[in-house]
A and B are shown apart, each in its own frame.
Chain A
Amino acid sequence: MKFSLKFLEEFLNLKGITPAELAEKLTMAGLEVSQVERKEEDFVFEVEVTPNRYDLLSIIGIAYEVSALFKKKVKIPKVNLRSQPLLNLSLKIENQGDCPLYTARLIKGVKVSPSPGWLKHRLTNLGINSVNNVVDITNYCMLKWGQPLHAFDFDKIGSIISVRRAQKGEKLLCIDNKERELSSEVLVIADENKPLALAGIIGGHDSEVSLTTKNILIEAAVFSPLTIRRGRRNLGVESESSYRFERGVNPLNLEKASASACDLILKLAGGEFAGYKRAGKKLSAKPFWIKFDIQRLNNFLGTKIKEKQALQILKRLNFSLKKKTSILVKPPSYRQDIKFFEDLAEEVVRIWGYQEIKETLPPIRRNLKGEASFYKFKEKIKDKLVNLGFSEAITFSIISERENLTSYKPLFLENPLRKGENILRPEVFGGLLKVFQYNVYRKEKELEFFEIAESFFKTNSGFKEKTKLVIGKHTQNIDNFYYFKGKLEVFLADCGIKEFSLKEGNRPAFSDYALIEDWGWVGVLDKEISRRLDLENVFIAEFDLEELYRRRKQPYFEEIVHFPWVERDISLAKRKELRFGEIEDIIKTQAGNFLKEFRIVDIYKGEKIPSGFIGFTLRIFYQHKQRTLSSEEVDKVHFQLREALAQKEGLILR
């Protein structure tokens, strides 16, 4: 919304107040001035009117606000509310819910011509094109009073004017020369034959006032904010008029705006007033008194404002006061946004000055509950992963249906921003693939990332939202998978999960895949998909973080075994199909309670290894918890282990 200093000065004297001062005061009282621009002799202010203050969508409204801030008197010129004779015209309102009040004033024999300079400037300074004197006057009166007006060429319209919903298929060529197809969402002004204008939004081309127009009908009406909002959204058109109707207009200004437009037309375009007609209900602002209590106000704001000061501020804002057993105040008719005591508090303090309120730190009290915090858990998880070398990524939860590499039924957006971003991701790992791709294109090949984010999917009974943790690695060497797996194990152990089962299975888009219990999975992305994304080896693990949270355990001290341990290596080659799990079983059975741990210390795929086999060296650590093992004991057990391994199908001792 814009207003200009000259326009404002029609209603109050601003002598001695600089534009900068005015801008500062308005901003600090809640009407943010985003720009002040000099235009010839005038200054144009761009202000951001908050949706509750429809009264500030008029110059007179702004004049009242300025008067309260600078203690100036507002002078509103008297308007001749002419309403005689009764206009011989049929006015019908189909539904008073859409249009509670409709008025029409007729002026005959006008001479339409270009506007005088001052009027042109009033409009063009505020960004409205000058059309002709009649149209300009309706716009000028709208800016002044906040009440949108519309002028019809009376000779181009029929004798029955109705306010109704459009019928499906009806069309209207509007004054912006665009033809619009209408639906029942849209309210129109129509005559007996056709729609004439989109009520409260934009006029029709055929009935518009032109230089040849002789007789004009001035419309001033109140339309339902909701109806106008739905209509203009439906048509995708917005205007100064719809903007005001959507926010609500002050019905008390309606007659004044219409009648003052008539006065000005008679003065500038000549002609003769030929009648008035009204349909709908007489609207008035309901008076409501609110109890004022200075103690409550000061307790609410943490201030020490004197009652007298507060009441003076309210008076400057045109509130009425009534002293009975307690003090009652009533907002002016144009301030229907004021309903609660808290609204009064805001009025007082925004004029008194927010800057006058002291900054005090309260003793914050809250009901303490010994609830563990999932938020804190997540933050610790992040630290653990960063310590293991994974950087944190944050990627979008909204993805394309095509990018859904899961079997979950996704949730769709009803109003996606773009076609390509239409679902909520049922698993989180896809985001990391994009992160890998982004960095690989920038010559980074060894990448380790994680993300904690929500995942969403459809269920039979509705939907589910779950917090997931995804950990991923991109590498040039497939064998690095075992480093990745090692980090996962260390990470899980650090969450209190030392033992877990891997169940290998199949999953589309993954060449290797295993479920980790029922709270996670780990996999190697299918080579074909990797190649398509310009990636090399991609390892992914995704966890249900809420499950990890539930399973978290604090550590308990375990006695440190001080007896020495003995290492023995075995070089083996295993057929690729043989799962290591079977070898592990043999080790555990044979070594029994002599087994401390075992490790793979070397992997090779050289010439000496038969094709279809993988060579590796296994290092076994023997230790007993209660005594020192003799080397004979170890040798015996180790020999038995070798024998058992040698007999295993698909395993060669080297």
Chain B
Amino acid sequence: MQEDFQKLKQTAERDFRKVQTLEELEALKVKFLGRNSFLAQFSKKIPLLEPSLRPQAGRLLNEAKSFITALWQERKKELNLQQDKIDLSFPSYSLRRAKLHPLTLVIREICSIFERIGFEIQEGREIEDEWHNFTALNIPLEHPSRDAFDTFYLNIPSKRYKYLLRSHTSPSQIRLMRKRKPPLAFVVPGRVYRPDNMDASHSFMFHQIEGFAVDKDINFSHLKGVLAYFVQNLFSSEVKLRFRPHFFPFTEPSAEVDISCFICKGKGCSVCKKSGWLEILGCGMIHPEVLSSCGISPKKYQGFAFGMGVERITMLKYRINDIRLFFENDLRFLEQFYEV
């Protein structure tokens, strides 16, 4: 009797292990535990046994029953699990995400860096007049120093100053200095226009960010500190700055700022034209004539100003090689960028 049960358990164990589907499993359960199973038949026979044998027979029966039930439950769990399993390596549904324009991303990042150290963000208008775009900025109307600022003029009749599309964001500096009283600290992003033919590095419309601060004791050393803070936050803390004397009609002293090439780490590459330096912005101490034309006494106040081309900085930051990509709005281009 004991041997019979032992065999039964072995067979059951083997069969349950072999079974692969839930249907087969149920059939097997019927086979071993069902009405016609050996165990069912055996339990009917117990009352016919000699009384002394009955307890042992009952124990063996129950033991076998619970053993097989356990086998069945365990296997069922396994099969269920197998059925719910999915292939994680299966390809995903392709999702697309709408994007901000990379120029917006970079303008935001730049403005927020300056905002952190106390600058306020303001904007100006794109149609300006000659006085704000040139005269007040100490740029004579007809002088070679204006050659760098070729300008689109507008056919708008005017008695005083001709209207134009601003060729830089600096007129906003004039408007803000005339409207608000020192101490002042602003950054001004916006579109600007110059009649340049389109090529890989020129566009007749592009973006600039202008920044300036005016107070009683703002000095050149502060200008260097603010720009170093800016550049190191935008690119990396390892980037070094180089200030080169330059000329702008609206600042004195003036400087062009180069940053050490973060692509080749200063060794020289095609982006920095083997020089190890990348020119990224112009700056200087606001010219006394500019302060005066805004009603700010250069005897009492001094300040700095800087201006940068957003496309150039974005191209450097994301290593974009053609300015025209910004204005084609190709999804395959736009989808590559995100905020970090």
Name A's B-contacting residues (CB within 8 A).
Answer: 27-30, 32, 50-53, 225-226, 229-230, 246-247, 299-303, 340-343, 345-346, 349-350, 354-355, 357-367, 369, 373-376, 379, 382-383, 385-398, 411-417, 421, 424, 435, 438-439, 442, 444, 447-449, 453-454, 456, 458, 462-463, 465
Cβ-neighbour of B245 out of A28, A438, A442 (below 8 A): A28
Contact status A302-B220, CB under 8 Å: yes
Cβ-neighbour of A229 out of B118, B121, B144, B217 (below 8 A): B144
A-B residue pairs in contact (CB < 8 Å), sample of 14: A28-B244, A30-B244, A30-B245, A30-B247, A302-B220, A354-B244, A354-B255, A355-B243, A358-B225, A359-B221, A360-B222, A396-B327, A435-B329, A442-B331
Question: Hey, what's the 0/1 contact readout for B234-276 against A, CB within 8 Å counting as 1?
Answer: 0000000111111100001111100000000000000000000
Contact status B145-A413, CB under 8 Å: no
| A367-B181, A435-B329 known; A299+B155 contact, CB < 8 A | no
Contact status B143-A394, CB under 8 Å: no
Contact status A29-B245, CB under 8 Å: yes
User: What residue of chain A has the Cβ atom nearest to residue B163's Cβ?
Assistant: A463
Cβ-neighbour of A51 out of B143, B191, B217, B218 (below 8 A): B143
Q: How far is the CB of B96 from chain A (nearest CB, A)?
A: 8
CA distance A30 to B181 in the complex (A): 33
Cβ-neighbour of A365 out of B183, B205, B246 (below 8 A): B183
CA distance A382 to B119 in the complex (A): 22
Q: Which residues of A contact B241 (CB under 8 A)?
A: 359
Q: Given A28-B244, A340-B252, 6 more contacts at CB 8 Å?
A: A342-B285, A360-B222, A392-B104, A398-B204, A424-B154, A456-B126
Contact status B127-A456, CB under 8 Å: yes
User: What residue of chain A has the Cβ atom nearest to residue B187's Cβ?
Assistant: A375
Q: Which residues of B contact A379 (CB under 8 A)?
A: 104, 108
Contact status B222-A302, CB under 8 Å: yes
Contact status A358-B144, CB under 8 Å: no
CA distance A188 to B279 in the complex (A): 42
Q: Which residues of B contact A390 (CB under 8 A)?
A: 98
User: What 9 pairs between A and B have smallest CB-CB spacing?
Assistant: A302-B221, A30-B245, A364-B118, A50-B247, A346-B253, A302-B219, A362-B222, A350-B245, A414-B153
CA distance A379 to B277 in the complex (A): 33
Is B137 in the interface zone, CB < 8 Å from A? Answer: no
Contact status B185-A366, CB under 8 Å: yes
Name B's A-contacting residues (CB within 8 A).
Answer: 98-101, 103-104, 108, 111, 117-123, 125-127, 142-145, 147, 152-156, 158, 163, 165, 180-186, 189, 191, 193, 195-197, 204-205, 213, 215, 217-222, 224-226, 228-229, 241-247, 252-256, 285, 287-289, 302, 326-332, 334-335
Cβ-neighbour of A395 out of B125, B243, B329 (below 8 A): B329
| A225-B143, A362-B226, A366-B183 known; A391+B99 contact, CB < 8 A | yes
Q: Which residues of A contact B117 (CB under 8 A)?
A: 361, 364
CA distance A109 to B185 in the complex (A): 69
CA distance A369 to B179 in the complex (A): 12
Contact status A346-B245, CB under 8 Å: yes
CA distance A394 to B100 in the complex (A): 10
Q: Which residues of A contact B111 (CB under 8 A)?
A: 375
Contact status B225-A226, CB under 8 Å: no
Q: How far is the CB of A288 from chain B (nearest CB, A)?
A: 15
Q: Which residues of A contact B226 (CB under 8 A)?
A: 361-362, 364
Q: Which residues of A contact B255 (CB under 8 A)?
A: 354
Q: Which residues of A contact B126 (CB under 8 A)?
A: 397, 454, 456, 465
Contact status A349-B253, CB under 8 Å: yes
CA distance A463 to B186 in the complex (A): 28
User: What residue of chain A has the Cβ atom nearest to residue B142's Cβ?
Assistant: A226
Contact status B332-A442, CB under 8 Å: yes
User: What residue of chain B has the Cβ atom nearest to residue A363's Cβ?
Assistant: B118
Q: Across the A-B interface, how many residue pairs have beta carbons closer than 8 Å?
A: 243
| A30-B247, A364-B185 known; A342+B253 contact, CB < 8 A | yes
| A301-B220, A456-B127 known; A362+B225 contact, CB < 8 A | yes
User: What residue of chain B has the Cβ atom nearest to residue A386's Cβ?
Assistant: B98
CA distance A412 to B257 in the complex (A): 37
User: What residue of chain A has the Cβ atom nearest to residue B181's Cβ?
Assistant: A367
Cβ-neighbour of B99 out of A345, A358, A386 (below 8 A): A386
Q: Which residues of A contact B101 (CB under 8 A)?
A: 391-394
Contact status B245-A361, CB under 8 Å: no
CA distance A385 to B97 in the complex (A): 12
Contact status B144-A51, CB under 8 Å: yes
Q: Which residues of B contact A448 (CB under 8 A)?
A: 98
Cβ-neighbour of A393 out of B123, B186, B329 (below 8 A): B329
CA distance A387 to B189 in the complex (A): 24
CA distance A415 to B155 in the complex (A): 9
Q: How far is the CB of B302 from chain A (nearest CB, A)?
A: 6
Contact status B331-A439, CB under 8 Å: yes
Q: Which residues of A contact B185 (CB under 8 A)?
A: 364-366
Contact status B153-A415, CB under 8 Å: yes
CA distance A392 to B339 in the complex (A): 14
Q: Which residues of B contact A366 (CB under 8 A)?
A: 118-120, 183-186, 213
Q: Which residues of A contact B215 (CB under 8 A)?
A: 362, 365
| A299-B217, A361-B225 known; A413+B155 contact, CB < 8 A | yes
Q: Which residues of A contact B119 (CB under 8 A)?
A: 364, 366
Q: Which residues of A contact B143 (CB under 8 A)?
A: 51, 225, 229
Contact status B330-A439, CB under 8 Å: yes
CA distance A438 to B165 in the complex (A): 27
Q: How far is the CB of B224 from chain A (nearest CB, A)?
A: 4
Contact status A300-B145, CB under 8 Å: no
Contact status B127-A367, CB under 8 Å: no
CA distance A32 to B302 in the complex (A): 27
CA distance A394 to B337 in the complex (A): 15
CA distance A357 to B152 in the complex (A): 38
| A359-B228, A365-B183, A448-B98 known; A354+B217 contact, CB < 8 A | no
CA distance A396 to B285 in the complex (A): 33
CA distance A425 to B142 in the complex (A): 29
Contact status A373-B287, CB under 8 Å: no
Cβ-neighbour of B98 out of A229, A359, A391, A398 (below 8 A): A391
Contact status B127-A300, CB under 8 Å: no
The CB with the most chain A CB atoms within 10 A, among B108, B220, B254, is that of B220
Q: Which residues of B contact A393 (CB under 8 A)?
A: 101, 329
Q: Which residues of A contact B329 (CB under 8 A)?
A: 391, 393-395, 435, 438-439, 449
| A303-B221, A411-B156 known; A367+B99 contact, CB < 8 A | no
Q: How far is the CB of A334 from chain B (nearest CB, A)?
A: 16
| A302-B220, A375-B121 known; A357+B243 contact, CB < 8 A | yes
Contact status B222-A50, CB under 8 Å: no
Q: How far is the CB of A516 from chain B (nearest CB, A)?
A: 22
CA distance A359 to B327 in the complex (A): 37
CA distance A300 to B216 in the complex (A): 10
Q: Which residues of A contact B332 (CB under 8 A)?
A: 442
Cβ-neighbour of B334 out of A230, A363, A391, A463 (below 8 A): A391
User: What residue of chain B has the Cβ atom nearest to residue A412's Cβ?
Assistant: B155
The CB with the most chain A CB atoms within 10 A, among B182, B222, B289, B330, is that of B222
Q: Which residues of A contact B252 (CB under 8 A)?
A: 340, 342-343, 345-346
Contact status B145-A52, CB under 8 Å: yes
Q: How far is the CB of B161 from chain A (nearest CB, A)?
A: 13
| A30-B247, A342-B252, A413-B154 known; A51+B330 contact, CB < 8 A | no
Cβ-neighbour of B205 out of A226, A357, A396 (below 8 A): A396
Contact status B242-A50, CB under 8 Å: no
User: What residue of chain B has the Cβ atom nearest to residue A351's Cβ?
Assistant: B245
Q: How far is the CB of A492 from chain B (nearest CB, A)?
A: 18
The CB with the most chain B CB atoms within 10 A, among A301, A366, A388, A462, is that of A366
| A301-B219, A359-B228, A394-B329 known; A27+B244 contact, CB < 8 A | yes
